[in-house]
Amino acid sequence: MTFLQFIHLQFKSKIRSVSLGRDLIAGLFLLIVILFILSYVILISVSLPFIIRSFFEVDDPIGFLNSYILFYFATEFLYRFFLQKLPVAELQHYLHLPIPRWKIVHFLLQRSFISLLNIMVILLLVPFAIIEVAGSYGSLSAISWLGTIVLFSWTVHWVTLVFKRGIGDQVIGYTIMLAVYLFSFGAQYYGWYNIGEVVKPFFDLAITSPLPIGMTLILFVMSYYGAYQYYRKRAYEEDIEEKGSNFVENSQIDFLSRFGTAGVFADMEWKLIIRHKKSRSYLYLSLLFLFYALLFYPTFDLAESSFDLHFSLFVGLFITGSFLFNYGQFFLSWNSANFDYFLIQKNGIESIIKGKSILFIAISLICYLISLPYVYFGWQILFIHTAAFIFNIGVGIPLLTMISFWKPKPMDINKSAMFNYEGLGAAQFLMFLPMIVIPYIIYLPFALTMGYEAGLASLTIIGLIGIIFFNQITRFLINRLYKNRYEISSSFRQEI
């Protein structure tokens, strides 16, 4: 078997997926987003020398860039962490065949390298290298300088793969991510120290000497080899399956039992979340997103800047709804293994939808309450978060439920250790789009003409209407699910 044959098989598995329609739309959106980003990247890259010279008013753009390049790598590590994935679950289809284990691991690793993320840095810096570096020092220096940075970025690729597999889905992983985030931006913003200056000489040297590119090349090869060793050691079936050691004694939430059958289902769903690695990591992720506001609010001037004020709605929607957006978009997929059970149950569909809604409301409420101390940065935040919370409850939940009925993906939550990363990819964040854009469509016309209070009031009113008609809307959703039930349950039964 060759690498090309392997890639061909991977391609087939993509186009024959039962959720192809959904994947295609997601892919199309992603493509648009990517083109959008690419055009920005190219625009930035072409004008980078100019921006640095005139906007930051420095005479030495190369030195300036070299002193900031470390922050670029820190950012890269962050987005790689969320976007990159390695489909280790593929292993079990090949391990018993006469293909050496090392070869399969190499295939998987090299396939992961075919990614837009890895040419981003080239696109971003080639014009700069040609105009500035080659212009002043000659083309050889430009190649050496660019090569050093590109190889460094590619090293981050392998490091991320090991990091994500190693501690990515534990609390410690998220803590480290948060630390990197705060460190790379906070330190710079508050001017505590400038670590960028420390590594600057290394990249300066790359212009005049081949030593740095040689060193990063060695680093790149070593990190690949390290990642290979790491995954090679873990290329066993038992590492793909989660071991049954994370038994949780009693995690009953008593107050849920007040809601009758739906409460029982909500409690069941809670147990599902708490007892599976994959769903747990979504819970951690939404807790992490609570800190997201720290990036914005400290710099915002809500009394003076109306842009800051309008932008705060985004933060509010995001914070109170992050669990809803993350977990809720796979609404039925979480139950794909036992969906048939709900179908044959009396009022099963009704309970599943109501149960999940109750749970979403409860967790959103907790997120909302935790977010209240942000009022410290401006009392307007109280109104913004409240309106966002009510809107998410009244409109966001049914809307997301409705979208999720469309070609849901079956998910094997028991094998989560690996499948974990299947869910946590770029396409997942697409679902955030309608959940953010729609409230803005309602908010902006009022906010821009009559002030932000009017915008928030309209969101709150629409949200309240949604809450008042909760039963009717739920009934509508139940009927829709009933209509699609054969299609959905058959797609859940497929796909090995």
Partner 1 sequence: MITIDSLKKAYDGTVVLDIPDMTIPQSQCFGLVGNNGAGKTTLLRLILDLIRASSGEVFIEGENVAKSESWKKVTGAYLDDHMLLGYLTPDEYFEVLRKVHKMSDADLKLHNERFESFFNDEILGQKKYIRDLSKGNKKRVGISASFFGNPQLVLLDEPFESLDPSSQIRLKKIVEKEKKDKSTTFMISSHDLDHVTEVCERVVLLEKGLIKQDITGTREDKFEALNIYFSG
Binding site for partner 1 (CB under 8 A): 1, 5, 9, 12-13, 16-17, 92-93, 95-101, 236-238, 243, 245, 494-496
Nearer to partner 1, 99 or 465 (CB): 99
Identify the CA nearest to 61 among candidates 183, 208, 203, 211: 203
DSSP code for 37: H
Nearer to partner 1, 91 or 161 (CB): 91
Nearer to partner 1, 230 or 296 (CB): 230
CB contact at 8 A, 207 and 200: no
CA-derived radius of gyration, the chain? 25
Residue 489 CB, shortest distance to partner 1, in Å, is: 14
Residue 480 CB, shortest distance to partner 1, in Å, is: 26
List Cβ neighbours of 249 (8 Å cut-off, separation of 6 or more).
none
Nearer to partner 1, 79 or 236 (CB): 236
Neighbouring CB atoms inside 10 A of 186's CB total 14
CB contact at 8 A, 339 and 488: yes
Backbone angles phi, psi at 300, to 5 degrees: -80, 145
As a whole number of angstroms, the distance between CA 226 and CA 163 comes to 12
Nearer to partner 1, 17 or 144 (CB): 17
Residue 496 CB, shortest distance to partner 1, in Å, is: 3
In 247-347, where does DSSP find H-type helix? Answer: 260-275, 277-289, 306-328, 339-344
Nearer to partner 1, 245 or 472 (CB): 245
Nearer to partner 1, 91 or 206 (CB): 91
CB contact at 8 A, 199 and 70: yes
Separation in Å, CA 389 to CA 37, 374, 403: 30, 14, 20
Residue 166 CB, shortest distance to partner 1, in Å, is: 18
As a whole number of angstroms, the distance between CA 149 and CA 145 comes to 7
As a whole number of angstroms, the distance between CA 269 and CA 211 comes to 56
List Cβ neighbours of 315 (8 Å cut-off, separation of 6 or more).
292, 293, 296, 297, 384
Residue 17 CB, shortest distance to partner 1, in Å, is: 7
**Side chain identity at residue 217, one-letter code:** L
DSSP code for 405: T
Residue 485 CB, shortest distance to partner 1, in Å, is: 19
Nearer to partner 1, 441 or 496 (CB): 496
Residue 494 CB, shortest distance to partner 1, in Å, is: 5
Q: At what angle do helices 452-468 and 432-450 cross, to 10 degrees?
A: 130
List Cβ neighbours of 142 (8 Å cut-off, separation of 6 or more).
129, 130, 133, 134
Nearer to partner 1, 104 or 384 (CB): 104
As a whole number of angstroms, the distance between CA 179 and CA 132 comes to 34
Nearer to partner 1, 36 or 102 (CB): 102
Residue 236 CB, shortest distance to partner 1, in Å, is: 6
Residue 280 CB, shortest distance to partner 1, in Å, is: 20
CB contact at 8 A, 213 and 206: yes
Residue 1 CB, shortest distance to partner 1, in Å, is: 5
Residue 169 CB, shortest distance to partner 1, in Å, is: 20
Nearer to partner 1, 13 or 305 (CB): 13
Between vectors from CA 410 to CA 2 and to CA 328, what angle results, nearest 5°?
125
